[in-house]
Amino acid sequence: MLQRMSGVFIGALFGTIFVVANAHAPLNPAVGIALRVLAVLTFAGLLALALRAGRRGRPAVADAEAPQADWFRGKFAFVVGAEVVLLVGGNLALRAAGAPQETAVAWIALIVGLHFVALMAVWKRRSIAVPGVALTALGVTGLGMATTSAVAWVPFVSGVLSGVALLGGCAYAIAHTYRATVRS
């Protein structure tokens, strides 16, 4: 359970960062602050629930998506390495092509989403496909918006909404784990 929860914590942390870093203009400042506070409170709540589930011990019910013994080795390392190369290389290519700075968050959402889709195959965990597909779609949408007059909204679409998708996916995973411990 510790390996699974560490992945969930990483996802929730990055979801929170997506929201905190991108909840800005053209959003109303009060809305931006509210979104940031809500993201941080959600992260804190998820952390508290996961710790409580961890104290209860292992789930008694069989988890169809039980974690693999070597979650963070082998193919995982390859996926993360490719992700880093694509994040850096893609952003450098976008800058060289004269793309607006807002495309950076859209590119990050796209690559992080694709990384989740790839990890779904590596870890054999269908549940991570949902945030993966959501982030991929929000990244593609943001890249498309960057070529229009709606470019100022790219951080909201590809950043804030991606953060919400990550936090939602992590909330599902933690709630599922917690419910399994309650049934024991």
Q: Which residues contact 73 (CB under 8 A, 6 or more apart)?
A: none
Average pLDDT value for residue range 143-160: 98
pLDDT tens for residues 3-28?
667 788 899 999 999 999 999 999 99
What does the pLDDT look like over 118-143, one tens digit per residue? 999 888 888 889 999 999 999 999 99
Rounded to 5 degrees, what angle do the CA atoms 55, 57, 62 make?
145
- Pick the more confident residue, 54 or 119: 119
Q: What is the mean pLDDT of the chain?
A: 88
> How confident is the model at residue 110, as a pLDDT?
98
- What predicted TM-score, i.e. pTM, was given to this entire model? 0.88
Helix (H) or strand (E) segment spanning residue 74: none
CA distance 56 to 76: 29
Which residue's structure tokens are 């990244």?
139
